[in-house]
Chains A and B, each alone.
Chain A
């Protein structure tokens, strides 16, 4: 069964890792997995290993990379099918609804099986999922008098220019696969893919769907190089504040202090603040509950504080009106710099003084600025409830 596996690695895994063109033909089945099982030889090939290490270097200088195993192969297969569900010609395939459900269930099974249980496996999943996050697609768009025809990752038919209704414009548009709209099965499967790659979900917290467990990834963040990589990736995003809010919301959930819960933060605006936490699918509820025991969210909170410091260093903290979000988590995220005196022993000293007097002045100014964002009740809640819970959660 070496040849089909070789073809799969050559046509899918290697281009995805190395920046080539991924061509999708047909979905992979459990039978294919049966035939691959035990044979991960192509994944240990020298070129694949070099591509994996190269991708790992995108994050840190010395990637903590697990050797390829069967579960990684299963994850690659799941990603293959995930991408396949966005194929524009699925409607033309002669297959029953039951057959399509079977393909979706098989893909979900692939993705669920690939849950990492060690930091090195988290890094290995991140290689694959980050490639999907970066995946591009070149669409052909033909503007007609009636409508715009978009050919998803395909060339427009040659004869389309002959039709009278084609008016004036034919162009190409390169889109990011992840951020573009998806088919319904892909939308259902994407959260599972992100759950299997918690590091990717953490870095792209504004785009990631699903609620990955923070256990393995928070122990990975204890490694300073990965913590730095994550924070710099957040800081590079335009929506760094929304990412910070999303991550903090996950931390609050892990500490059983979720927004809207009994012990959650006070709601300042009665009309808006009532927001139930996003739903968690029953299939993974149990899994999350198990992982949350190991979760020590302090490294995550330290990373969020470091994000504030980076943005102050960059002078990208925009003062002014018109807060982009009024969600409670967004405001609490801006309250984190005000807790440094309490959380210093737990999170460590960010050593602002070492950055010079100018930076210290900017940091003081920034703290006074964020004081205007967080209400007095919210700040009191963070000091009285959140900080002790975080300290307690890290000890347990």
Chain B
């Protein structure tokens, strides 16, 4: 009978031949590390899947390394090493590893021994000094069981995160063949994510809108150069709607399995992703597509836009009312703001040019120096063209003083322009003027002339740089590529079945 390489640890034993073994709180001899040897990568994946169902993979990944090892006698194996700590952790990993027919060891450094079993409740130690195992190199791992020692040489290291992301999805039948037949709607009862191909997005959103499904969406470009697919988020979707969506080619349903991962309905990832946030680094969102066998990474956390804005609306044919577009200054209960003449001289902040002189605005570009032109803005009003400029400072002259056109406008309050030679009456605090006019932060108000009953509000979006507006856009002519083909080769041919007459085969004859 061959001599046993291991000997059982006795109760109360504290000194061991294998360095790194110690006694945990239960008196069991364990090492600092746990080693699991998998014969195939399938078993490794099976182990990770089973572990993720029970525990968080994030904790395991903190101390785990995955390596490929070559056996001394030939053949390869996959080595999983992680922190040991106590006999409870060892037993949990041993139980899961035995499910996939793999062996667990405990130890430290390069030499590992079998953990405790039913016959040896306090674990194992080496029967002989560690030197008898043989010389152990820095890349060697020796796993000692009772009758033999397995020596493996580490030849490569695997990235566990990359491994998890490269795993193929497995098909999982939908209960009852229809999502609606499943009481939990295949996990979509609370929320469903729907990936819609670009060509279908407007129809799908309109259809969902008509069915009053609560939705929000975001446009994604899944591949370079491809127009945006639509990712929809449906809240408490009805099963009937989900069944219809599932059957439409180009539409894919996803079950959110964690805050940053969703898996296509009808497919299952080998790893329980909810317990594996560390597998999904960064702040990207991951869509695991089973049918396409792809993993889509959405940069950043997706900011969904409410479904109201996704549906295409028809434009109203009613002509816009100019008066409606202007916000009237709110009236004060007793007196209202009005203009009156003044002799106080102010630096002009803008010029209001009548439409009759609009053709001359382009010439301003030649007149104004670049530093001034850079700060000029342009607003088209019913009353004329308003050119806004910064006031001159430090002795310099502002653009409005240099423009020899139109009527000069001065600031009666911050962002409130009145004709030169006028002021607002009564003289309330400048900041209060803005509040009385109901102006937002970036908005301006203009009194076009001294008889104006109310100010015109100008949102920031309506102002544009003068040079950008006054210089005519020059659209480059599309390069004429000299092609030999008379027709475009970029498009795929299409077949159209024309109406067929009843006598289509009239006089159809064979050979001879």
- A: residues with CB less than 8 A from B are 14-27, 29-31, 47, 49-51, 53-55, 58, 83, 86-90, 92-95, 99-100, 102-103, 105-106, 109, 131, 134-138, 152-154, 168-169, 171, 173-174, 177, 238, 318-322, 324, 361, 365, 368-369, 372
Contact = CB atoms under 8 A, between A and B. Distances in A.
Contacts of A135: 492-495
Interface in B155-176: 156, 163, 166-171
B485 A109 contact: no
Contacts of A95: 504-505, 508
Contacts of A102: 508-510
A136 B492 contact: yes
A384 to B, nearest CB: 20
Contact of A31 (B156, B163, B487, B509): B509
B502 A320 contact: no
A19 B491 contact: yes
Contacts, number: 177
A137 B508 contact: no
A22 B79 CA distance: 60
Contact of B168 (A18, A131, A171, A320): A320
Contacts of B171: 322
B324 interface: no
A318 B89 CA distance: 31
B472 interface: no
B495 A89 contact: no
A322 B503 CA distance: 54
A372 B75 CA distance: 11
B210 to A, nearest CB: 8
A145 to B, nearest CB: 13
A321 B494 contact: no
A83 to B, nearest CB: 6
B505 A103 contact: yes
Contact of A93 (B168, B505, B511): B505
A31 B249 CA distance: 42
A229 to B, nearest CB: 16
Given A47-B486, A103-B508, 14 more contacts: A14-B487, A15-B487, A19-B492, A53-B484, A58-B489, A87-B497, A99-B508, A136-B493, A136-B495, A153-B497, A174-B199, A319-B167, A320-B270, A321-B45
Contacts of A322: 168-171, 270
13 contacts: A17-B493, A18-B493, A19-B488, A27-B504, A30-B509, A93-B500, A93-B504, A95-B505, A102-B508, A135-B495, A174-B199, A321-B42, A322-B171
Interface size class of B (residues with CB under 8 A): 35 or more
A103 B45 CA distance: 57
A92 B500 contact: yes
| A53, A54, A90, A103, most chain B CB atoms within 10 A | A54
Contact of A27 (B76, B249, B489, B508): B508
A131 B40 CA distance: 45
A135 B497 CA distance: 13
B504 A26 contact: yes
A252 to B, nearest CB: 26
Given A21-B493, A93-B505, A318-B166, A106 B511 contact: yes
A136 B494 contact: yes
B484 A22 contact: no
B85 interface: no
B490 interface: yes
A29 B489 contact: no
A381 B119 CA distance: 46
Contacts of B502: 92-94
A259 B483 CA distance: 48
B46 interface: yes
B487 A51 contact: yes
Interface in B278-325: 292-293
B427 interface: no
A368 B504 contact: no
Contacts of A174: 199
A30 B42 contact: no
Top 10 A-B pairs ranked by shortest CB distance?
A18-B487, A50-B484, A19-B491, A30-B511, A47-B486, A153-B497, A320-B167, A95-B505, A54-B485, A89-B500
Contacts of A154: 496-497, 499
A19 B491 CA distance: 5
Given A25-B498, A318-B166, A321-B170, A20 B45 contact: no
A136 B494 CA distance: 5
B489 A54 contact: yes
Contacts of A25: 498, 500, 504
Contacts of A51: 485-487, 489
A153 B497 CA distance: 5
A351 B499 CA distance: 58
A324 B509 CA distance: 48
Nearest to A57: B489
Contacts of A24: 495-498
Contacts of B491: 19
| Interface hub of B168, B210, B510, B512 (most chain A Cβ within 10 A) | B510
Nearest to A364: B156
Which of A87, A174, A322: most chain B CB closer than 10 A? A322
Given A88-B497, A152-B497, A99 B484 contact: no
Contacts of B163: 319
A92 B501 CA distance: 8
Given A16-B493, A25-B498, A90-B500, A320 B508 contact: no
Contacts of A47: 485-487
B205 interface: no
A22 B496 CA distance: 6
Contact of B496 (A18, A86, A153): A153
Given A87-B500, A153-B497, A238-B292, A318 B168 contact: yes
B125 to A, nearest CB: 35
A238 B171 CA distance: 16
B348 to A, nearest CB: 59
Which of B156, B207, B492: most chain A Cβ within 10 A? B492
A29 B509 contact: yes
B505 A99 contact: yes
B203 interface: yes
Interface in B438-495: 483-495
Contacts of A106: 510-511
A319 B489 CA distance: 38
- Name, among A31, A93, A321, the residue most crowded by chain B CB atoms within 10 Å (CB to CB): A321
A109 B510 CA distance: 11
Contacts of B485: 18, 47, 50-51, 53-54
B432 to A, nearest CB: 56
A372 B166 CA distance: 17
B68 A372 contact: no
B249 A321 contact: no
B41 interface: yes
Nearest to B43: A321
Contacts of A168: 207, 210
B493 A365 contact: no
A361 B163 CA distance: 16
Contacts of A324: 168
A19 B496 contact: no
B166 A319 contact: yes
A27 B500 CA distance: 11
Contacts of B497: 24, 86-89, 152-154
Contacts of B293: 238, 318
Q: Which of A18, A88, A134 has the most CB of B within 10 A?
A: A18
Contacts of A177: 495
B489 A55 contact: yes
Interface string B322-351: 000000000000000000000000000000
A58 B489 CA distance: 9
Given A90-B500, A368-B76, A321 B46 contact: yes
B77 to A, nearest CB: 11
Nearest to A171: B203
A347 to B, nearest CB: 26
